[in-house]
Amino acid sequence: MFSSLSDSLDKTFRNLRGVGKISEKNITDALREIRLALLEADVEFTVAKTFIAHVKEKAMGADVLKSIKPGEQIVKIFHDELAELLGGDQVPLNLDSPGRILLCGLNGAGKTTTAGKLANRLKREGRKPLLIACDLYRPAAIDQLATVAGQVGVPVYTPDASESDVVKVAKEALAWADSQDGDVVIFDTAGRQEIDERLVEELKQLHAFLKPQETLLVADAATGQGAVSVARHFDEAVGIDGIILTKLDGDARGGAALSMRAVTGKPIKYAGEGEKLDQLFEFHPDRMADRILGMGDVVGMVEQVATRIDEKDAMKSMERLASGKFDFYDFLDQMKMIGKLGDMKGLLSLMPGFSKMKKQLPDAAFDPKRLKRTEAIVLSMTPDERRRPEIIKGSRRQRIANGSGSTLVEVNRLLKQFGEMRKMMRSPKKMKKMMGGLGALGGGGGFPGMGGGMPDLGDLDSLMKGLGDKKR
């Protein structure tokens, strides 16, 4: 996400920081390059033009030009204006109890999956969500929502497949919801390949009947300026309260995210990154600005880790690490923990400076198959070999390689990395460094099979609070 824009901005600001004295020409030249980068990222033309004008006005101030580090000042101005363009402060859902959420959007934007993700997130936050299937046109939509509801463990209302009156379905669904122990009702509506009058009229009728507290447009970020046009059209038709951007992980340009808030005046409330049902995150404009400028989002990274890793298991694991009594059984536990984190490349992209680091790392470092191959090697060991790796010598190594479908070189590499890790465990100074924060993700000497380090997953609550203090 935003990779091309981030690279262009990094180059421009690096050149600007290297200039001893900032002049109007320096600023004008830099902003021209930034404007081109924004347009190439598919940011809407008038949005890019207005944004650059605001940045230039502030960057040309006397306090900036005469400051000791004018280049840094301009970067800060750009960051603040970017955060403002994205919406300023994070805007939460405005829900009473019971609350009603109406999801709308075009086909292919990911409404049904997003409905499940939103229900899953609200459930984690202590709510009791209910899902309602109101897509009466797409044959598999009702079954898909039922499947998603089963995966997240929430009740779902599914109308008869022959039903065609969406308002009637909504009326019956509300009667059903009254009999359930729920406090938020999420309506998944039908989409189209393109906006047409029939879709708009149906949405108007449904919206007028339900009077939802939140009408959220689910928009595919990969459609660029097309998504902006869709947002404007839906807002004029039914009046949206916010936007959920999907597929941010697959969008290299990201112009839709930068344009939607300015064009519609509606906040982006959530962003979906990935297919898993726990991959829906609150949209924080300041954090997104950090990510675009290559500053990362450590708070967001820890939040994601905290939702996927059991803190008790993490503490138990870290106690074993601290004791130095680490064997391949512990290693298997670590492998399972890493597996729960999902897409490591996406998670590590939230680290400050990772955009530069990843260019030096082979793609194989993020290959989930590599993790599976490493796990296969460990599972080919006998119980005694897992407890006492030091006994694994010549013939044993060859047997393990044969049993796991790997090579002797791969087995030797794993054992070498594991040995280096055990040495580190027995060094108080190195252990303190490893457990003293997030650790050196992607560096050497980390968990075997991953080609790098691993965050300290111990006291996640304390870590979150500390990071929150730093952000403030």
223 belongs to an annotated ligand binding site: no
190 is in an annotated binding site: yes
108 annotated ligand binder: yes
105 is in an annotated binding site: yes
| Residue 302 near residue 464 (C-beta atoms within 8 A) | yes
Beta-strand runs (E) in 91-164? 99-104, 129-134, 156-157
The Cα 125–Cα 99 span in angstroms is 14
The Cα 383–Cα 76 span in angstroms is: 56
Q: Is 363 annotated as a binding residue?
A: no
Report residue 274 as tokens: 């990935």
Is 106 a known ligand-binding residue? yes
Task: List Cβ neighbours of 311 (8 Å cut-off, separation of 6 or more).
Answer: 457, 459, 460, 461
177 annotated binding-site participant: no
Phi/psi for 68 (5° steps) reads -65, -40
Ligand-binding annotation for 247, yes or no, is yes
DSSP state at residue 277: T
The DSSP secondary structure of 355-384, one letter per residue, reads HHHGGGS-GGGG-HHHHHHHHHHHHTS-HH
Q: Which of 333, 326, 312, 338 is nearest to 450 (CA)?
A: 338
Write the DSSP symbol of residue 223: G
Q: Is 109 labelled a binding residue? A: yes
The rounded distance, in Å, linking the Cα atoms of 63 and 81 is: 17
Phi first, then psi, for residue 71 (nearest 5°) are -60, -45
114 is in an annotated binding site: no
**39 annotated ligand-binding residue:** no
In one-letter notation, the amino acid at residue 295 is M
**What are the tokens at 4?**
């091309």
Could you tell me where the beta strands, DSSP code E, fall in 149-229? 156-157, 184-189, 214-220
Lay out the sheet containing 268-272: strands in order across. Answer: 156-157, 129-134, 184-189, 99-104, 214-220, 242-246, 268-272, 280-282
> Residue 435: helix, strand or coil by DSSP?
helix
Is 191 marked as a binding-site residue?
A: yes
Q: Is 175 annotated as a binding residue?
A: no
71 annotated as a binding-site residue: no
For the chain, the straight-line distance linking the first and the last C-alpha, in angstroms and rounded, comes to: 25
| CA count, 13 A, side-chain hemisphere, 188 | 34
Specify the amino acid at residue 360: Q
Q: What is the Cα–Cα distance from 418 to 448, expressed in whole angstroms?
A: 6
Helix (H, G, I), strand (E, B) or coil at 184: strand
| 124 annotated as belonging to a binding site for a ligand | no
192 annotated as ligand-binding? yes
- Residues at the annotated binding site for GTP? 105-112, 188-192, 246-249
- Residues at the annotated binding site? 105-112, 188-192, 246-249
